Amino acid sequence: MSGNRKSKRRKIDREKPSPANIPTRRFSALGWAALGGPLSIVLFLLIFGGRIPYLTDYSAQEAKKAAEEICRFGKERMRTSQYQAAHTMFMEALKIKPDLPDAYINISQIYYLTGNIPQAIEWLERAIALDLPQKDLLFNNLGLLYAHSGDFPTALTMFERALSSGMKPEQVYNNIGTANLSQRNYPQAVEAYRAAIEHRPTVRSMYYETLRRVVAEYYGDEELEYVYRAAKGQLERGVMDEELAVYDSVSVFRFGRSAHRQAELYENLARALELNGEFDEAMKYCGEALKTKPNSANLHFQLGGLYFRKMKLNEARRHFERAVRLNPKLNSARLALEEVKRMIEGIREN
């Protein structure tokens, strides 16, 4: 029995690894030096990094680039309607760079697209509160949000601010007209729509608008600072006639889609004039709009209604018939056509 215990003990002893085979942790002066180098750099940055302009600027630049990259991914999510994922990314970008306008603007857009207008307004107001070189487009969009929520007085205030901060007058005047029309301020709507027509884009105005957009877009972009400086310098010294000579009327037409846009302005003015009781002027601008949009059922219906008010029944019938042919589902035009036919028939019988 004792012999068996001794043999087992000897067997266990033989299986034990020798000290030379057991891994051990060895610390050397070289290892501590290798570890201490990076640690000392980190400690140095923690203590002095905020006091050295170069290091502060470098970290700010890196933060800006990282936040902008996150925003780019957020926009890709927005394009595929992944609004929650996009919202999360924009919020993460703001954690890195709290004064990034693009993040605030896109969060506002997400809330607008998901129907939360109050939050859309709040986030766009946060963007406007930042130090931006140009806020006209933001004021204009904020005005549209207020108009969407039914707060037309505030919407008008925002449009006026957009007008005073450099935005293309035609677009802002058109928005002012629409806001006044919604409030049944018909004389003011007529005045604003007339101003929109008077301020239609020209080669010069579109050139200035492009320069302003470049200045706003490239503000703070170090890689494209030379583009920013060139555009800003041209804005400050003014644009000369010879610089505009290279743009012909065809280019302007394609760039601004001026004819189609002009027809829309005429149509808006005609509607406001009709509601204001100025039927002859309304007929004039409705006819101008039809020159560019001859196949618009709504315009033919509107012009038919104006002729009907003037008791020019044959002209009214002609436009109502055209409206029904262009859009058979336009029941209001169909009913109006039936009514004017009955009136014409009654006149013939009498």
CA 61, CA 52: separation in Å to the nearest integer? 14
pLDDT digits (tens, 9 = 90+) for 262-292: 888 999 999 999 999 999 999 999 999 998 8
Instruction: Find tokens 């970290």 and name the residue.
Output: 59
Percent of the chain surpassing pLDDT 90: 37
pLDDT digits (tens, 9 = 90+) for 302-326: 999 999 999 999 999 999 999 999 9
Indicate the burial class of 162 (C-beta count within 10 angstroms; 0-12, 13-18, 19 or more): buried
CA torsion through residues 336, 338, 340, 343, sign: negative
**pLDDT-based confidence at residue 48 (cuts at 50, 70, 90):** very low
CA torsion through residues 77, 79, 83, 87, sign: positive
**pLDDT-based confidence at residue 18 (cuts at 50, 70, 90):** very low
**Who has greater pLDDT, 265 or 219?**
265
CA torsion through residues 143, 91, 75, 220, sign: positive
Residue 221 is predicted with a pLDDT of: 67
Token pair of 144, please? Answer: 């549209």
| Whether the predicted pLDDT of 15 surpasses 70 | no
Residue 110 is predicted with a pLDDT of: 93
Residue 239 is predicted with a pLDDT of: 72
- Provide mean pLDDT across the span 123-149: 87
| Whether the predicted pLDDT of 142 surpasses 80 | yes
- Provide mean pLDDT across the span 192-207: 78
Q: Could you tell me the pTM of the whole model?
A: 0.61
